Amino acid sequence: MPEAGSRRFVFRVDASAGIGGGHVMRCLTLAKELRARSAHVHFVCRELEGNLCSLVEHDGFMLTRLPAPVPGEPRSGGLGATWQDDAAETAAAVRAAGPRPDWLVVDHYSIGSPWESAMRAAAGRILVIDDVGRSHHCDLLLDQNMENPAHGRYGSLLPRSAKQLLGPSYALVRPEFGALRTASLERRQAPVLERVLVFMGSSDVRDETTKALDGMAGLDRGLAAVDIVIGAANPHRSRLEERCAASRGMELFVQTPRMAELMARADLAICAAGSTTWERCVLGLPGLAVIQADNEAEIAAAVAATGAQKLLGLPQRLRPQDYRDAVERIGSHDLARMSEAAARLCDGRGASRVADELLG
């Protein structure tokens, strides 16, 4: 039971095969920071295909599961329902969870101003986590990405009273990454490319992972090891398991809790240009980034402009040999330069700063 008088938070967030798991993972990071400060946290998630409801419950949070979409019924994008039905179901879940929460935290590309306006009476204030410059009816907006055109749009898309937390200093990076930061940066002072980490997002519907592995199979330079990370809902999981079992030096990790350790020991990441960018930066891990979603393009370009990563481009334009050539061209000086640039972008203390704002 929550302590009497403790601050109350409700998170409305989803994961699925289509939208991935990054939204839930960053919300869990903030939720754990709030819980460590004696706040009471409750999650509301819909049972979409590839959801992470079990992970939320495994981490010890109360969770209300909204029903899975019914085939043939109207729905709004990745929400699994119309926004009106979702708002009504969420409001009922909030009421059932206990006293009116101090904050409703929303992290969902299919939720915007109409939904937030309808939920005004359900919570004291609303925090929206976003990174694509959409219209919101909120009290606080968090966009953890580097300065990009989306930031300039918020001024006309939010209430005048809304406060904005912008930039990687507010990135919701799990504490285990910060704990390994010093050791990870120290081992990169004399970089050698021996171990590569491949992570194309939790779902990787296009199977860009296999394409990258095909490319590295033809490398002239030798690699000591390749670590591959996928989500439990990855539709290509069985094929990747067979491939790694038959390949020397390849190891597959499914929905792993060891991501910080894997990044800290890797010399280079071949990765999606999503929210794991900031985890890489905390550890100074150089990256070859693939733009898996349209909303990643501007941010990925901004990160690349700092020298923290190299952009490979869009998956539909990439061939296995493009991955091979990109890895072949990486030298020790490239690794050192990218590592230093990445480490300057994010220090891993974002969740603490956001919690200060919410509880202050």
pLDDT tens digit sequence for 340-352 = 999 999 999 999 9
* pTM for this prediction: 0.87
The tens digit of pLDDT for each residue in 135-150 reads 999 999 999 988 888 8
Burial of residue 153, with CB atoms counted within 10 A of its CB: 0-12 exposed, 13-18 middle, 19 or more buried? middle
Average pLDDT over residues 93-105: 97
**Considering only CA atoms, which of 238, 269, 253, 278 is closest in space to residue 22?**
278
C-alpha span between 47 and 119 (Å, rounded): 21
pLDDT at 18: 84
Q: How many CA atoms lie within 13 A of 281 on its CB side?
A: 31
Give me the phi and psi of 23, to 5 degrees please: -65, -45
Asked if residues 213 and 245 have their Cβ atoms less than 8 Å apart, the reply is no
The domain locations on the chain are: 8-166, 175-345
Q: Please say if the pLDDT value at position 2 is more than 60.
A: no
Average pLDDT over residues 161-183: 96
pLDDT tier at 1 (50, 70, 90 boundaries)? Answer: very low
pLDDT tier at 212 (50, 70, 90 boundaries)? Answer: very high
Q: Please say if the pLDDT value at position 4 is more than 60.
A: no
296 or 48: which carries more pLDDT confidence? 48
Domains 8-166 and 175-345 share a fold: yes
The one-character DSSP state at 141 is E
How confident is the prediction for the chain on average, in pLDDT?
Answer: 94
Give me the phi and psi of 336, to 5 degrees please: -65, -45
The tens digit of pLDDT for each residue in 108-126 reads 999 999 999 999 999 999 9
C-alpha span between 355 and 64 (Å, rounded): 23
Q: Please say if the pLDDT value at position 354 is more than 80.
A: yes
Question: Percentage of the chain surpassing pLDDT 70?
Answer: 99
The tens digit of pLDDT for each residue in 292-322 reads 888 788 889 999 999 999 999 999 999 999 9
pLDDT tier at 3 (50, 70, 90 boundaries)? Answer: low
Coil, strand, or helix at residue 182?
helix
Average pLDDT over residues 90-117: 97
Angle, vertex CA 62, rays to CA 56 and CA 64, nearest 5 = 85
C-alpha span between 42 and 163 (Å, rounded): 24
Q: Please say if the pLDDT value at position 5 is more than 80.
A: no
If you search the block for the tokens 């101003």, which residue do you land on? 113
CATH 3.40.50.2000 fits 175-345, yes or no: yes
C-alpha span between 266 and 188 (Å, rounded): 10
Q: Return the CATH architecture of domain 8-166.
A: 3-Layer(aba) Sandwich (3.40)
Say which residues have a Cβ less than 8 Å from residue 306's Cβ, sequence separation at least 6.
Answer: 146, 341, 344, 345
Chain centroid offset of residue 175 CA: 14
Average pLDDT over residues 70-84: 88
Asked if residues 345 and 308 have their Cβ atoms less than 8 Å apart, the reply is yes
If you search the block for the tokens 């899975």, which residue do you land on? 68
pLDDT at 62: 98
